[in-house]
Copies of this chain bind each other. A is one copy, B any other.
Amino acid sequence: MEAFSDGVFAVAITLLALNLVVGGPDHGSLFHKLLHQWPVFAAYGVSFFTIGIIWVNHHALFDLMNRVDRPMLYLNLLLLSFVVAIPFATTTLADYLRDSGTSGTTAGVLYAGVMEGMSLSFTLIFVHGLRTDLLIAAPPPEERRAAVLRFGLGSVAYLVVMLLSLVGPVATLVGAGLLAGYYVFQRTPDAPGDVPGI
């Protein structure tokens, strides 16, 4: 399952860069065109590292399982269905990043919504791993509720990012970027076998 998931993560993260396009040499200075394209580059950066973080945490979580069952395979597919939608949500957010009206908010909600779906699927995978005997080094029953809450923090955070879309799409992107930065630089496992969600 890891090989397939790795493949999907790798293709999705690389397809992100298909959005990086500037017109041909007919339409003015390349430098200004690149500057004008900053939303595309900013959205690319945030999405690239978000997919990267999920991939890192995905490995950390599945390394704690010796085997998987069929429901786990389908929960993993659910997660991947959101991962695969990230390039689409990213392009749309970049396209509408200068839109201060309703469409800008819609683009932000779409982006944060895909991230939320991904985050919730990942929490479902964790919960299913806890309930069955798939997850080794699982915390004792009395600590599981706390572990799930800690794991599911990302799902709450992306709800906040979704609310930021009311301010505008730039706020959504900054929120998602800060969240990604937090996971890269700050979020450390609290205990052996404690995998950060997202």
Residues of A within 8 A of B (CB): 1-4, 6-18, 20-22, 24-25, 29-31, 34, 45, 48-49, 52, 55-56, 59, 70, 73-74, 77, 80-81, 84-85, 87-88, 91-92, 95-96, 98-99, 102-103, 106-107, 110, 184
Contact = CB atoms under 8 A, between A and B. Distances in A.
Chain A interface, >50% SS class = helix
A35 to B, nearest CB: 10
Given A18-B15, A70-B56, A84 B48 contact: yes
Contacts of A106: 29-31, 34
A8 B3 contact: no
A124 to B, nearest CB: 14
Contacts of A102: 29-31
B4 A84 contact: no
A48 B81 contact: yes
A92 B9 contact: no
Contacts of A85: 17, 20
Contacts of A84: 13-14, 16-17, 48
Contacts of A81: 45, 48-49, 52
B103 A30 contact: yes
